[in-house]
Structure 1
Amino acid sequence: MPYIKIKDKNLYYREYGEGDVLVFLNGMMMSTTSWSPFIKFFSSEYKILLVDLIDQGRSDKADTFYTQDMHVEMLKDIFEKLGYHKVHLIGTSYGGEIAQLFTLKYKDMVRSLILSNTTSYTDEYIKKVEKEWYQLAEAHDDNLFLNTVISSVYSENFYKENIKWIEGNKKQIKRILDKEWYKSFMRGIISTYDFNVNNQLNQIRIPTLVISSDLDTVIPMKYQQIIYEKIPLSRWIVIKDSGHASIYEKPYEFMLVILGFLKTMDFKLNK
C-alpha cells in the first residue's frame, strides 16, 4: 500500500491520472475509499491525489489531541514530497475547513478552491451537532451511533428510498468501529472547536466554488452563503433535494459542478 512518512507518521495516499492536480480532502467520517466512484471520471483529465490525514482511514492515529493546523502542515509536506507546486483543493465538510486554512497559509500553492457543505467557523449550532456526535462516540454504542449520525447526513427522502444501500453502508462502517476509531473521531471533532476564518476569507483571491445542499441540516446553506459573500472570486451553486452528504445523494450533480467550474474558472464572457 502507498504510504508516505510525514513527521514520523505514515499517511495513506493514492494517485491517479495525469495533468493538473486535484486534491480531495475527506469529511469527518470519510476516507480515500469514499472518493472511489469519482476516480475514473476526474482522472481522465486530471491527476488526482486522495489522502487520509491523521486519524482518517488507513493513516496512523494521533498520539494526542491536535488542532487543524497540524493537518495543514502535513498536507504541505505531502505536496512537497510528491513534487506538487500548485493544486486544486477540493474539501467537503471537515475537509473544506482544512482547505480554507491551507489556502490562507499557503496561497501560492493553491490554483483554485472548491468547498462543499462546509463552514468558515464553528458556532454554537455546529458545536451542538458535534457535541451530540461526540457523546455518541464516547458511549461506544455502534448501533445508536450509526443510526443517529448516518441519518443526520442524508435527506429524508434519500434515506427512505435508499434504505437497503444505507443499511449496507452501516454494516461496512460497523466493521471498523472500535475504541481507537471512536477516539480518532472524537479528536477530529475537538479539533474543529476553535475553527474560525471568517475575518480572513477576503484574503482568498483565487477562483473558488462554493457548493451547498438545500436540505443540509448538519452545516446548513447559510454557512456557505457567508463564504460566498466574503471570498471575492467565488461562485455559489446549490444542489437541490440533497442533505449534507451531497457526494452520495447527488454524485452526478457534484461531478458536473466541479468539472464545469474547473473548465470555466478563468473564462471571461465578452459583454
Structure 2
Amino acid sequence: MPKVEINGVGIYYELDGTGEETVVLLNGIMMSTASWVDGVDFYTRNGYRLLRVDFRDQGQSDKCNEQYEIGQHGEDLRDLFVHLGLPRVHLVGTSYGGQVALLFALKYGYMLKTLILANTSARLTNHLKAIGEAWDEAAKLNSGQKFFQLAMPFIYSSAFYEAHYQWLKAREKNCGEVLTSDWFAAYLRLSSSHGGFDILERLGKINVPTFLIGAEKDMVTPLEEMIKIHRAIKGSLYITIPEAGHASFYEKKEEFHTAILGFLALSKAR
C-alpha cells in the first residue's frame, strides 16, 4: 500500500473499492489503518471507495521529531485528498480522529459531503484530561503489556471484558511484544497535540450533514459530551449504541457500520 510525502512527512494510506463516492476513516489516538480492517467490506460491497489513513506518528506513517498541534492533521488530510483527486468525501472520525474531523469541517467544510463522529468530544473535560494524563504516565513506562493493562479498561465496556477476556489477554501479550519505544514517543506527541482543545462554541459554524454515534458505556466520552455536539450542529442526527464502550466501532461492528451506511443512504435521498 502507498505512502506519499505530505508536508514533509510520509503519510500512509489504504484505498479500497471502486465506487464513485469515498468514505474516509480517521483513527483514534491508539489506532492505525489496521484497526479498521474488519470494516472494509461493509463499504466496498455497498459501492463506496474506502480510504483509511494513518496520521503522522501513527501506524505506518512517518514518526516526527518535532511537536505539532492537532490541526496539522487536517492540513495533511487536505493535501492528501488533493493528491488523490478527492474533491469531496464522507469523513468519519472516532475519538481523536473525530476531533480532527471537527477541525477539518470548520476549515474545509466545502470538501465534505457528510461528517460522521463517533465517541468524540469537542472539548477536553477535566475528566478526559485526567484519563489522558494517566495514559501518558502509562506510556512513559515503555511497556506494551503494562500500557494495555492500564489503558484498555477505559476503552472497552465491562460487557466486552466479560465476553472477550481471553482475547483481551492475548492482545495484552501481543502489545508487550510489538509496542516499541518509538511507538510510545509518537503516542506522547499525539497526546500532547490537542493541548487545551475546546471548540464547542465554534460548532455552530459547521454546515455539513452530520451524524453522531455515542456509546452507552463510554467512560472516555460520556453521552452528554456527544449530545452537546448534537445540539451545537444544526440539523445533526444522533444515535446511541447500547452496551458498548469507547471502542464502539470494534465492540459492535455490525451496528456501527450499518448505522453509518444508513446515514449515507439518507444523505443521498435528501
Which TM class, normalised by the smaller chain length?
over 0.9
TM-score (norm 2): 0.96
Secondary structure of 2:250's partner?
helix
Hey, what's the Cα distance between the residues in 1 that align with 2:6 and 2:176? Answer: 29
CA shift, 1:192, in A, is 1.8
Q: Partner amino acid for 1:188?
A: L
Paired residue for 1:8? Answer: 8
Paired residue for 2:94? Answer: 92
Q: Partner amino acid for 1:21?
A: T
The alignment-based identity, stated in percent, is 37
Q: Partner amino acid for 1:166?
A: L
Paired residue for 1:212? Answer: 214
Secondary structure of 1:227's partner?
helix
CA shift, 1:170, in A, is 2.4
CA shift, 1:266, in A, is 4.9
1:190-223: per-residue Cα shift (whole Å, max 9, x none)?
1122211111101111110110001000111111
Paired residue for 2:41? Answer: 40
Decide whether the 8 Å contact of 1:72 with 1:101 is kept in 2: yes
CA shift, 1:144, in A, is 2.2
Paired residue for 2:246? Answer: 244
CA shift, 1:73, in A, is 0.5
Decide whether the 8 Å contact of 1:104 with 1:203 is kept in 2: yes
Across the aligned residues of Structure 1 and Structure 2, the Cα RMSD in angstroms comes to 1.2
- The equivalent position to 1:194 in structure 2, one of 187, 192, 196, is 196
Decide whether the 8 Å contact of 1:118 with 1:219 is kept in 2: yes
Hey, what's the Cα distance between the residues in 1 that align with 2:241 and 2:161? Answer: 17
Hey, what's the Cα distance between the residues in 1 that align with 2:175 and 2:39? Answer: 20
Equivalent pairs, count: 268
Matches within 5 A, 1:52-131: 52-131=54-133
Paired residue for 1:176? Answer: 178
Hey, what's the Cα distance between the residues in 1 that align with 2:89 and 2:265? Answer: 15
1:212-243: per-residue Cα shift (whole Å, max 9, x none)?
00100011111100000000020000000011
Hey, what's the Cα distance between the residues in 2 that align with 1:257 and 1:38? Answer: 12
Secondary structure of 1:256's partner?
helix
Matches within 5 A, 1:133-172: 133-172=135-174
Secondary structure of 1:106's partner?
helix
CA shift, 1:169, in A, is 2.3
Q: Partner amino acid for 1:35?
A: W
Hey, what's the Cα distance between the residues in 1 that align with 2:74 and 2:233? Answer: 20
Structure 1 residue 203 corresponds to structure 2 residue 205 = yes
- The equivalent position to 2:51 in structure 1, one of 46, 49, 52, is 49
- Structure 2: where are the runs of 5+ without partners? none
Residue range with higher mean Cα deviation, 163-172 or 208-217: 163-172
CA shift, 1:171, in A, is 3.0
Hey, what's the Cα distance between the residues in 2 that align with 1:179 and 1:173? Answer: 12
Hey, what's the Cα distance between the residues in 2 that align with 1:41 and 1:225? Answer: 27
Q: Partner amino acid for 2:254?
A: Y
Hey, what's the Cα distance between the residues in 2 that align with 1:110 and 1:23? Answer: 10
Residue range with higher mean Cα deviation, 147-156 or 27-36: 147-156
- The equivalent position to 1:258 in structure 2, one of 243, 257, 260, is 260
CA shift, 1:142, in A, is 2.9
Decide whether the 8 Å contact of 1:85 with 1:109 is kept in 2: yes
1:74-122: per-residue Cα shift (whole Å, max 9, x none)?
1111000000000000000000000000010011101100000010011
Decide whether the 8 Å contact of 1:127 with 1:193 is kept in 2: no
Q: Partner amino acid for 2:5?
A: K
CA shift, 1:153, in A, is 0.5
1:12-70: per-residue Cα shift (whole Å, max 9, x none)?
11101122010000001110001100111101210111110101001101111110111
- Structure 1: where are the runs of 5+ without partners? none
